[in-house]
């Protein structure tokens, strides 16, 4: 993802305003996507250390962004004996030792903790408990940022001592604009926007995988043409042929179905302009109650597959149930 885009992230903006107005605190929890964590932590460190709260142009900014600022410390510490991406007590000991030392390049020190991989396991509470004292009595010139995907995975005692900031999802129009700037074709932009749910890293993942576009067109064709048991075999065959890739097809199927609802009720959320005629045809086949019922059938099919029910049996039953719902919920 384009690193510069994070300057407009709501967390970065909120922190810049807090430091500008003198309302900042010493400890923050940043709730964000795992793929954003490292870059987002870099940006917030720059907000703290840059005299202009993250101007992205001064010497301090260049040092922070290049990883060469002597008052920025990243944890888990890669120099410890066990090179792991999970926080350990040794990492907290390192923090406690370093926070006692004077800053080298300015008047502040910043500790960046990427804890996205550190909230599971038997020792998950150990490093957090070890960190409590410094969160309770922070040094005036020390700032600690803890990045996680889900803040509820942290101990309540940690959360009570930090200000929690949550990264907002991107608007559909912003995702489209971002992907267009990357040179992505219009159809691919729309597919990625549909499936990413406001996540730019997810959008990049979709556009980098050429199979998503083909899968979406297969699903749209199946929903448009499968009108009865007489022509249901291609839909059954399509899903049966994707046994090793079925999660992608479930995801796309659900997203396309919900687009038919957006097309009828919420145009601001409708993104598949390149398939407007096909979506209209699906709308003619499936009422809104039918769409919602089929989405529930998708979730049940997932559970059945996870429960080791025969895959082909699940698919046969799913398509039969879809057709039953389609006729039961007539427009």
Is the domain of 104 the same as that of 248?
Answer: no
Do 29 and 100 fall into the same domain? yes
User: Would you say 68 and 16 are in contact if contact means Cβ atoms under 8 Å apart?
Assistant: no
| Per-residue model confidence (pLDDT) at position 182 | 84
Q: Which two tokens stand for residue 247?
A: 């999660």
Domain holding 303, by residue range, is 210-328
171 domain-assigned: no
- The answer to whether position 189 is within a domain reads no
Kindly give, in sequence order, each residue whose CB lies less than 8 Å from that of residue 122, ignoring residues fewer than 6 positions away: none
For residue 319, report the phi and psi dihedrals to the nearest 5 degrees. -65, -40
| pLDDT at residue 83, rounded to an integer | 63
Q: Are residues 11 and 130 in the same domain?
A: yes
Report the pLDDT value the prediction gives residue 14, as an integer from 0 to 100. Answer: 94
Spatial separation of the C-alpha atoms in residues 95 and 114, rounded to whole Å: 13
Note whether 143 and 218 are same-domain residues.
no
From 145, 166, 187, the end of a domain falls on: 166
Q: What is the pTM of this model?
A: 0.77
Whether residue 67 is contained in a domain is answered as: yes
The domain spanning residue 154 has which CATH number? 3.40.50.300
Q: What is the pLDDT along the chain (331 residues), one digit of tens a residue?
A: 556 667 788 999 999 999 999 999 999 999 999 988 999 999 999 999 999 888 888 999 999 999 999 999 999 987 656 667 899 999 999 999 999 999 999 899 999 999 999 988 877 899 999 999 899 988 889 999 999 999 999 999 999 999 999 999 888 888 888 888 888 899 999 999 999 988 888 898 999 998 999 999 999 999 999 999 999 999 999 999 999 999 999 999 999 999 999 999 988 889 999 999 999 999 999 999 999 999 999 999 999 999 988 999 999 999 999 999 998 887 5
User: Could you tell me if residue 293 is inside a domain?
Assistant: yes
Q: Is residue 267 part of a domain?
A: yes
286 located within any domain: yes
User: Would you state the torsion angle of the CA atoms of residues 250, 256, 258, 259, taken in this order, to the nearest 10 degrees?
Assistant: 160
Residue 48 lies in a domain: yes
The confidence score (pLDDT) of residue 3 equals: 61
Domain end: 105, 135, 166, which one?
166
Q: What is the chain's alpha carbon radius of gyration, rounded to the nearest angstrom? A: 25
Q: What is the pLDDT of residue 200?
A: 87
The pLDDT value given to residue 1: 54
Residue 146 phi/psi, 5° resolution?
-115, 115
Q: Is residue 271, in this structure, part of any structural domain at all?
A: yes
Instruction: Tell whether 26 and 138 lie within a shared domain.
Output: yes
| Same-domain pairing of 63 and 162 | yes
Structure token pair of residue 175: 């995702």
Based on the fold, state whether residues 55 and 162 are members of the same structural domain: yes
Among 166, 192, 219, the domain-final residue is 166
3-state secondary structure string, the chain?
Answer: CCHHHHHHCHHHHHHHHHHHHCCCCCEEEEECCHHHHHHHHHHHHHHHHCCCCCCCCCHHHHHHHHCCCCCEEEECCCCCCCCCCCCCHHHHHHHHHHHCCCCCCCCCEEEEEECCCCCCCCCHHHHHHHHHHHHHCCCCCEEEEEEECCHHHCCHHHHCCCEEEECCCCCHHHHHHHHHHCCCCHHHHHHHHHHHCCCHHHHHHHHCCCHHHHHHHHHHHHHHHCCCHHHCHHHHHHHHCCHHHHHHHHHHHHHHHHHHHHHHHCHHHCCCHHHHHHHHHHHHHCCHHHHHHHHHHHHHHHHHHHCCCCHHHHHHHHHHHHHHHHHHCCC
* DSSP bridge partners of 283: none
Provide the pLDDT for residue 268: 84
User: What's the order of all strands across the beta sheet hosting 163-166?
Assistant: 72-75, 109-114, 142-148, 27-31, 163-166
Residue 63: the pLDDT is 94
Say yes or no: 121 and 236 in one domain: no
| Structural domains in the chain (count) | 2
């Amino acid at each position: 993802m384009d690193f510069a885009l994070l300057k407009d992230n709501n967390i970065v903006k909120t922190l810049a305003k807090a430091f500008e107005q003198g309302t900042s605190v010493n400890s923050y929890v940043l709730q964000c996507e795992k793929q954003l964590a490292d870059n987002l932590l870099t940006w917030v460190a720059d907000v703290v250390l840059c005299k202009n709260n993250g101007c992205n142009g001064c010497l301090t900014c260049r040092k922070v962004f290049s990883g060469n600022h002597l008052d920025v410390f990243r944890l888990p510490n890669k120099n410890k004996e066990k090179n792991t991406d999970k926080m350990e007590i040794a990492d907290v000991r390192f923090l406690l030792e370093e926070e006692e030392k004077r800053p080298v390049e300015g008047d502040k020190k910043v500790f960046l903790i990427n804890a996205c991989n550190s909230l599971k396991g038997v020792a998950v509470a150990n490093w957090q408990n070890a960190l409590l004292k410094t969160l309770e009595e922070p040094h005036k010139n020390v700032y600690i940022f803890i990045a996680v995907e889900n803040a509820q995975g942290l101990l309540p005692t940690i959360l009570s001592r930090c200000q929690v900031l949550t990264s907002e999802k991107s608007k559909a129009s912003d995702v489209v604009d971002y992907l267009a700037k990357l040179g992505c074709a219009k159809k691919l932009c729309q597919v990625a926007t549909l499936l990413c749910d406001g996540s730019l890293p997810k959008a990049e993942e979709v556009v980098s995988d050429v199979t998503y576009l083909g899968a979406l067109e297969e699903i749209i064709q199946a929903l448009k043409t499968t009108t009865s048991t007489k022509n249901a075999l291609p839909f059954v065959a399509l899903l049966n042929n994707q046994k090793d890739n079925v999660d992608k097809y479930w995801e796309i199927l659900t997203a396309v179905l919900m687009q038919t609802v957006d097309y009828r009720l919420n145009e601001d959320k409708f993104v598949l302009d390149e398939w407007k005629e096909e979506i209209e045809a699906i709308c003619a086949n499936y009422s809104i109650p039918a769409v919602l019922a089929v989405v529930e059938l998708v979730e049940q099919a997932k559970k059945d597959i996870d429960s080791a029910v025969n895959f082909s049996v699940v698919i046969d039953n799913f398509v039969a149930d879809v057709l039953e719902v389609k006729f039961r919920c007539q427009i």
